[in-house]
Chain A
Amino acid sequence: MDGNLNALTTVFTEFYYWVTVVFMFLIHVGFCMYEVGASRHRNHMHTLMKNIMIIPLVTVTFFFFGWWIYWAFPSFPFFGGLNHDAGAANLPWSQNMGTNLSDRITGVFWAAFLLFSWTAASIVSGAVIERIRSSALWVHAVMIGSVFWIIDAAWGWHAEGWMVKYLGYHDAYASGVIHAIAGGYALGVIMVLGPRLGKFAADGTPRDIPPHNPWMLTIGIFLIYSGFWGFYAACNIPAISPEGIGGLITGETWTATNIYLAPTSLSAITFNFLMSLSGGLMAAYVVSKGDAFWTFSGGLAGIITASAGNDLYHPIQAMLVGAVGVVIVYKLHYWVERTFKIDDAVGAVAVHGYSGIVGLIIAGFLLWGAPSSPYEGYAAVNPVGQTIGAVIMFFVLGFLPAFVISKLQAAAGVLRIPEEVELQGLDYAEHHAYEDAKAEIIAADKAAVNGSGVPAE
């Protein structure tokens, strides 16, 4: 770190990302609470464990190869080879991937992306509760968290990504690169996995399976909102000079940028985060006729729909985009459920996947002609590029691999839990052991009190 200003900027940037990482942990806490609240009592511990173990499994694999993919894949395989130079600095045996006083940013930047990886995997986890084998889900978590989402990030969420260069793809706060892909992935899994027992009546009519604890869901989703706010900050570069960007920007004015190094501000994204949340909540309340859980999820769907362009929208545009997105998503969720008998237990495909697609396409129209990058020769933002981008995110990198892997797991008999276990509950064995242990210690204590035994130590 040469010079005071450089040192200050570096330490500020390091601290900035560190704070966003801590905030984003709330997303995972929120998802855990939401899933447990939505599941029935007999499945709590497995539901929780299924989501918690995403943390270590995605973390270690993201360290081993996920982070390398982001740096090596921006042009690969359609517009060039692997970027070995950039990739080498981010391999697990690189000195940058450890305590290194000449690199204070890689660790926190890696962690910010890692938390996005947890989120992608956790979105899938919610859709499949109460009937998937944990072993199957954890393979999916690694695939979406450390392979497929980070390929899409290299292509569409990297300053040199081919989708940005040639399609003018613009997705500043991840309508597509996290949400559309995770929603598409979840749909691919649940199409093979099938619905929970009892979800559909004999005549095919869907039944509501109410959450066992509405308050856990409520707090869970509020925590997700809070973490999402941190996620927004994490998608920015907090302060950089035109020289540091090295693109077309002239003058000496420093700026915050989005992930493509194009200018925006924290103020802009704070306006737009809150207005799109509000538009989503208001529209969801109306369209769901005041259903509490759709209203709360609608707030999230509103943000996700506006996220692609929330670095540039006007706050009222963000509000209206969020509102429009929620109405489409809500209608689509029930149409898909009725038509294809799909059991999306927490509405993950709708809230994340459909919102992401709708948000990308809307951004193509609202930001038509805006520069996608500060570098020369990049395509401008346009509706065709955004629509192709949405298809790549949802279907190509989300739905297809999930469907294929799930088919393989189903063929091997390792995707779904046995029907008997689903009916008695995944926690039955643990509950049984708990009740036995409880009975034994109570009996021992009673015997001690009555003088006919040795007290427990």
Chain B
Amino acid sequence: MSTIGYDSWAVDLAEVGAVYPFQGSEGIMVVLGVVFWIAWHRIQFVREGEHLEKAKHMGDKEKINSLLEKY
């Protein structure tokens, strides 16, 4: 029993196609991948919003002026 569908390389490679693990579960893998991607955007949107809200009140005039001078 092998996750890639082959227990041995005693095969004619002309007759071998996909060799990744869990062939037949591509649909589930795509769903998992898309969930990961969408979740990433959701987390990032929320965190950036919170960060910018905090950042609005963080500025010290003197430090901002010195940053402006630095260009």
Contacts and interface: CB of A to CB of B under 8 A. Distances in A.
A248 interface: yes
Given A263-B19, A312-B20, A317-B20, A247 B9 contact: yes
B9 A320 contact: no
B21 A249 contact: no
Interface string B17-61: 001111000100110110011001001100100010000000000
B65 interface: no
Contact of B10 (A250, A252, A263): A250
Contacts of A279: 36
Contacts of B12: 249-251, 253
Given A248-B8, A313-B21, A369-B7, A323 B36 contact: yes
B61 to A, nearest CB: 24
B35 to A, nearest CB: 10
B23 to A, nearest CB: 8
A313 B21 CA distance: 6
A370 B29 contact: no
Contacts of A317: 20-22, 29
Given A286-B40, A366-B3, A366-B21, A316 B30 contact: yes
Nearest to A278: B37
A242 interface: yes
A290 interface: yes
Contact of A249 (B13, B22, B37, B40): B13
A368 B2 contact: yes
Contacts, number: 91
Contact of B3 (A251, A290, A316, A369): A369
A316 B10 CA distance: 27
Contacts of A290: 47, 51
Contacts of B19: 263, 312
B36 A282 contact: yes
A445 B12 CA distance: 79
Contact of A312 (B4, B8, B33): B4
Contacts of A313: 20-21
Nearest to A257: B9
Nearest to A311: B19
B33 A319 contact: yes
A380 interface: yes
A41 interface: no
Contacts of A247: 9
A285 interface: yes
Contacts of B51: 290
A371 interface: yes
A96 interface: no
Nearest to B29: A316
A79 B43 CA distance: 52
A432 interface: no
A319 B36 contact: yes
Contact of A255 (B3, B4, B13): B13
Nearest to B21: A366
A371 B8 CA distance: 5
Nearest to B9: A374
A314 interface: yes
Given A247-B9, A248-B9, A250-B12, 6 more contacts: A286-B40, A314-B20, A314-B22, A316-B30, A367-B3, A367-B4
Interface of A: 242, 247-253, 255, 262-263, 279, 282, 285-286, 289-290, 312-314, 316-317, 319-320, 323, 366-371, 373-374, 380
Interface of B: 1-4, 6-16, 19-22, 26, 29-30, 32-33, 36-37, 40, 43-44, 47, 51
28 contacts: A249-B9, A249-B11, A249-B12, A250-B10, A251-B12, A251-B13, A253-B12, A253-B14, A255-B13, A286-B40, A286-B43, A312-B21, A314-B21, A314-B26, A316-B29, A316-B30, A316-B32, A317-B20, A317-B21, A319-B33, A320-B36, A323-B36, A366-B21, A367-B21, A369-B1, A369-B2, A369-B3, A380-B7
